[in-house]
Amino acid sequence: MNYIKAVLLGTLAVLFLGCSSAPKDAVYGMYDALAKGDMKKLNTYATNSTIQLLTIRAAMQCTKNPNDYSDKLDDYIGECMQEVYAKVSIKDIMTVKEDDSAVTVIVTEEFNGRQMKEKMHLAKINGNWKVATEGR
């Protein structure tokens, strides 16, 4: 009986720990959502202001014609994000500042064979880490 309780408690602990996100997981999740053009998933890993900034960046670099999406703006944005961000890969994430509710990281990205570093701020919102342009 004690064995069953131990296994059950261990399983619950693993499930609980698996639900909490780390700042690096949020960055990887955001890039994955961008590469797939998945706006719903993007909302999990980025704040609204970050999503607005990323949307503008994608639209500025997108080769798709927005007139072809007259009633489907979300489809246009998703496809533009996919077109632009699928070419970006993360090479490294280095934490430079961290406390209980905010983290600053330097993300080394590779795009078209060129590496770039981008400073990102993350905030803990409702217990989950999100990339937040309104960093400290």
Percentage with pLDDT > 70 across the chain: 83
Residue 130, Cβ neighbours under 10 Å: how many? Answer: 23
**One-character DSSP codes across 37-94:** T-HHHHHHHB-HHHHHHHHHHHHHH--S-GGGGTT-HHHHHHHHHHHHHTTEEEEEEE
Look at residue 112 in the predicted model and tell me its pLDDT. 87
Check: CB of residue 88 under 8 Å from CB of residue 31. yes
Q: What is the pLDDT of residue 72?
A: 86
Summarize pLDDT for 10-44 with one digit per residue, the tens: 333 333 333 347 999 999 999 999 999 999 999 99
- Give pTM, 2 decimals: 0.78
At 3, is the secondary structure helix, strand, or coil?
helix
First-residue to last-residue Cα distance in the chain:
51
Tell me the pLDDT of the chain averaged across its residues.
84
Q: Which domains does the chain have, with CATH numbers?
A: 2-131 (3.10.450.50)
Residue 71 has phi, psi (to 5 degrees) of -105, 5
Tens digits of per-residue pLDDT, 118-131?
Answer: 999 999 999 999 99
What pLDDT was estimated at residue 74? Answer: 84
Residue 92: CA count within 13 A, CB half-sphere: 8
pLDDT digits (tens, 9 = 90+) for 51-76: 999 999 999 999 998 888 877 888 89
pLDDT digit string, tens, across residues 67-116 = 888 778 888 999 999 999 999 999 999 999 989 899 999 999 998 899 99
